[in-house]
Amino acid sequence: MKTTPAKTERLHALDSLRAIMMLLGLVLHTAITYGTVDYGSSWMLKDPNTTHVTFDAIVALIHSFRMQIFFLIAGFFGALLFYERSPARMIKNRIQRIGLPFLVFLFVLWPSIKFAFTYTDLVFSGAPDAWQQAVEDLWSWSSLLPTNTFHLWFLYDLIHVNILFLGFAFLFIRWKRGADFIKRNFIWVIKRPLVRLVVLSLLTGLVYYSIDTYSVPSTASFIPNYLEVFYYSSFYAFGWVLFKAKEQLDEFKNGDRISLVAGIALFFVHIIYRDSYTFLQHVVLQAITVWLLIFGIMGCFIRYGSQHSYKMRYISDSSYWVYLIHLSFVAFFPGLMVDWPIPAVIKLLIVVGASSIICWISYHYLVRSTFIGKFLNGRKYPRKG
């Protein structure tokens, strides 16, 4: 299938959006440490001296659209591989780009992640010999074996989602009438901003209602959480069908800025008055908020991010590596700064900034033009240019 310049520009925009959604993980995982909400065993770090409720809102806002958009774009590019390359090449690509990196980095990263979390947790609890205890804890073989998928949970879920949709894809290859029916009605809905908001919010609301929650947690267990997989599969499905109707991508620019503003406004209305809503009202508000933010963010990226940029291309290429290795740094640095008499926002900026610098320097010199870059992105890139 011939790719026109306009289609290539839209692909650049979606790939850039995918990268930004991954990089927001640095902000999200740092903000949790300086927020006031206790996330229990899923994130045990909480600065005892410097927290602010603002970071709870930041975490909740990012969580309300980030992974939904990521899985949507994953569905779009999964369909691109399946239909424009071949099912066999799609399977090979997903194994090489998702399955193998998940398995390798699960073991490679675990010791540093375990050390960082143990050290900072000990510092936050006032232990005088936190460094020594954290080092000694690493000497046991059990500490070298991962006990959960930590921040790689989304890769684990994505593996399951891809397997699920391969089955659907082969089904619709045989059932062409059903595939044409879905595409035709999908296009009709996408072309009408108010209709698409109502229809997709209704579908997502039904998903929330069926899994009995309007806030899907990100679990890191090795035991697959099929409610979580089902939830993110709904956005993957939208992205998959969107690829079949990719000529409609520009429709997202219709009302994008209004959708973005409305989505942010509705998000804050929801969290400010959350104690006064019934479960059904929570479901409705959350479903509408999710799709307003998706339409707004995707539309703005297609509007402003479609033209090729070497800087954005570099950021997109590096985002996978940066996300993979960032967790140890954003968990470790807060322990070093626990007694610094500075506001939480300054601490957050220092942690995010220092972690980003280390991640990008390591990408540029250790990954971009090496076998690691080829392992993650499928090819090596020259450091210059």
Amino acid letter, residue 310: Y
Q: What is the mean pLDDT of residues 228-256?
A: 94
- Model confidence pLDDT, tens digit, residues 41-65: 889 999 999 999 999 999 999 999 9
CA distance 219 to 98: 18
Distance of CA 369 to the CA centre of its chain: 25
Q: pLDDT at position 143, please?
A: 65
CA–CA separation, 281 and 287 (whole Å): 10
End-to-end CA distance of the chain: 29
Q: What is the pLDDT, as a whole number, of residue 382?
A: 87
pLDDT at res. 164: 92
Interval 269-292 mean pLDDT: 95
Q: What contacts 190, CB < 8 A, 6 or more positions away?
A: 196, 242, 245, 248, 251
* CA geometry: angle 10, 25, 304, nearest 5 deg: 25
Joined tokens for residue 199: 């229809």
Secondary structure element (H or E) that encloses residue 113, with its range? helix 100-124
Torsion of CA 308, 310, 313, 317, to 10 degrees: 160
Cα–Cα distance measured from residue 338 to residue 360, given in angstroms and rounded to the nearest whole number: 25
Q: Describe the crossing of helices 176-190 and 193-211 by its angle, rounded to 10 degrees.
A: 120
How far apart, in Å, are the Cα atoms of 364 and each of 16, 157, 250, 381? Answer: 18, 29, 34, 10
Distance CA 231, CA 212 (A): 11
Q: Does 6 score more than 80 pLDDT?
A: no
- Chain centroid to CA 182: 27
pLDDT in tens, 161-213: 999 999 888 888 888 888 899 999 999 999 999 999 999 999 999 999 998 88
Query: In this predicted structure, what is the pLDDT of residue 1?
Result: 44
pLDDT band at 316 (very low <50, low <70, confident <90, very high): very high
Long-range contacts of 200-205 (CB under 8 A, 24+ apart): 200/238, 200/291, 201/284, 201/287, 201/288, 201/290, 201/291, 202/287, 203/234, 204/234, 204/287, 204/290, 204/291, 205/283, 205/284, 205/286, 205/287
Angle at 201 between CA 195 and CA 203, to 5 degrees: 105
What is the reported pTM?
Answer: 0.94
Q: Which residues contact 223 (CB under 8 A, 6 or more apart)?
A: none
Round the average pLDDT of the chain to a whole number and report it. 92
What whole-number distance in Å separates Cα of residue 186 and Cα of residue 180? 10
Q: Are 266 and 194 in contact (CB under 8 A)?
A: no
DSSP label of 83: I
DSSP tag of 44: -
